[in-house]
A and B are shown apart, each in its own frame.
Chain A
Amino acid sequence: MWDTITNLLPLVGAALHDFLYGFLPGWLAYLLLGFIFIVILLVSILNTVLAFIWLERRGISRFQVRLGPDRVGPMGLLQPIADAVKLMTKEDIVPAGGDRAVHYLAAVLVFVPALLVFAVLPFAPGVVFADLNIGILYIIAIGSVGVIGVFMGGWASNNKYSLMGAMRAVAQMVSYEVPMVLSVIGVVMVAQSLSLEHIVQAQELPFILLQPLGFFIYFAAASAELNRTPMDLLEAESEIIAGYHVEYSGMKFALFFLAEYANALAVSIIVSTLFLGGWKLPLVPPYIALPLKIFAVFGLMLWIRSTLPRLRVDQLMGFAWKGLLPIALLNIFITGGELLIFKGYPSWLALVNIPLAALILFIWSRLFTIKIRATATSARPAPSARNV
């Protein structure tokens, strides 16, 4: 009985599989089955994304002691749908002098990779669209395609703010790829596999306890990849208004918007899978355990977003290259050493690793100081703003 409950999703899948293969020729059943699973996956992703948008607006409003959207539907539940209808009916504007084709292509190029990531994510034991044995490599590769779309959008908009946002995006995303990949390596070393399903199965203890430093680095780098506070420089509202998508409207903007939240969902799932034990939770079936973890991770993102201001662009790059990268290397070094000494990476290492991580972070943060630079009393003559 318990097995039936925990394995509900694979059982349903298998039943569907047997049913289709029962009366259809093999190739048709294969295609049809794939199609059905893709539709189910996309629908559930997009619905979760809508739930995220609602949760973000309502959740942040609760952090800010206000009510949040409450006009459309009970507790504003239909607000994302109302937003979608509004965006779809809006006029699609391409700025004069903008590159029309690139402008269009950028939105698609941002949206598609955001969905492709979900192909390898395991939702329950045996429930994964494509159990690639190099799943993590695939995620990282696909994840970095989005930056091209962002840059194209910023370039094609023919707007200085967009261009600035796009430049920041490229610099930021390329920089944060590095610590992100390095932080995942620690997990891979402990789990001895690149397949996400194997990584989940390897977690008797969630890896957040065994790899606290890796979790911190991954979460920080993923926040930067997602353009979320405190690293939302490419769409910094108070500086460059909306960054690379300032000139987008209508459905194209909706694609950017959806991609952002689809990425947030993907990162929530990846963090749950790599560090929180994926669908494993005692006494809870996998299809409840994973959503719980996803929403917990997203809640943490909301909490951070509602508290923190934003870093400056040079500080952001400094944080990636001087802060996260050395710690990530150190993490790999420590993990490797531990693997070498203690075969099989026993669970009690958590007791060592957590204080060690806190110590490393503390010591590293002590190395940074702010320079107080004096302003010249007589400003140097500069070309007048009127002449440019």
Chain B
Amino acid sequence: MPTLERVSTKETRIGAGLGILKGMLVTFKHLFRAPFTVPYPEKRLPLPRRFRGYEFVWSRERCTVCLTCAKACPHGVIRIQSRLAPPESQWQAEKFEIDIGLCIFCGLCVESCPYDAIFMGTQFELANYQRGGLVRGIEKIQYNPATSRASDYSEHPPLEPGRLLLPKQ
């Protein structure tokens, strides 16, 4: 049974300026409140653990080149070429490119990966002077213990426990 509440009246007489004074009191109170914006490049807000950053972390060891991520991607931004590596005749990625210029950071590739091989990153400043620079190949996304920072978004087992601690909110 719907419940109602009437929010306005048919009153048409304008008040005597008291409403304006009430409003001005509110803005006056705000004069003494701290600004909620931050001067961005100098000061940064803490990122949540699940932040979906642009730089993607990918593990060559875990990846079996099954192409599930490429199939899950709604825009087809992942391009993979594979080859059989000689010693054990194992499939290996020869080319693994993610085109950030087309990526919408939906996280479906990360979620779909059955081998927990791909992670979202933690960066967000993706400006580039050339479009080609937005295409991230193996050398950029491959996991490097020194530089890679993977996001908690995927809830995959971390690539190297202890090294992937992220700023907690």
Q: Is there any pair of Cβ atoms, one from A and one from B, under 8 angstroms apart in the complex?
A: yes
A366-B35 CB under 8 A given contacts A64-B30, A307-B27: no
A62-B31 CB under 8 A given contacts A67-B39, A304-B24, A308-B23: yes
Residues of A within 8 A of B146 (CB): none
Interface SS of B by simple majority: loop
A370 to B30 alpha-carbon distance, docked (Å) = 31
B20 at the interface (CB under 8 A from A): yes
A304 to B27 alpha-carbon distance, docked (Å) = 9
Inter-subunit contact B16/A65 (CB<8 Å): no
Chain B 6-46: CB-based contact to A (< 8 A → 1; otherwise 0): 00001011111100100110111011011111110000000
- Min CB distance A356 to B, Å, is 15
**Across the two chains, which residue of chain A brings its CB closest to B33?**
A65
A365-B30 CB under 8 A given contacts A303-B24, A307-B23: no
Inter-subunit contact B12/A370 (CB<8 Å): yes
- Min CB distance B31 to A, Å, is 6
A41 at the interface (CB under 8 A from B): no
Inter-subunit contact A306/B27 (CB<8 Å): yes
A365-B15 CB under 8 A given contacts A63-B30, A304-B24, A308-B20: yes
Inter-subunit contact B24/A307 (CB<8 Å): yes
A62 to B33 alpha-carbon distance, docked (Å) = 8
Inter-subunit contact B35/A67 (CB<8 Å): yes
* B36 CB contact (under 8 Å) in A65, A303, A307, A370: A65
A143 to B56 alpha-carbon distance, docked (Å) = 63
Residues of B within 8 A of A368 (CB): 13-14
- Min CB distance B64 to A, Å, is 50
- 22 intermolecular pairs with C-beta atoms under 8 Å apart: A65-B33, A65-B36, A66-B36, A67-B35, A67-B37, A303-B27, A303-B28, A307-B20, A307-B23, A307-B26, A307-B27, A308-B23, A361-B16, A365-B15, A365-B17, A368-B14, A369-B14, A370-B12, A370-B14, A371-B12, A372-B10, A372-B12
Q: Which residues of A come within 8 Å of B, CB atoms?
A: 61-67, 70, 303-304, 306-308, 361-362, 365-366, 368-372
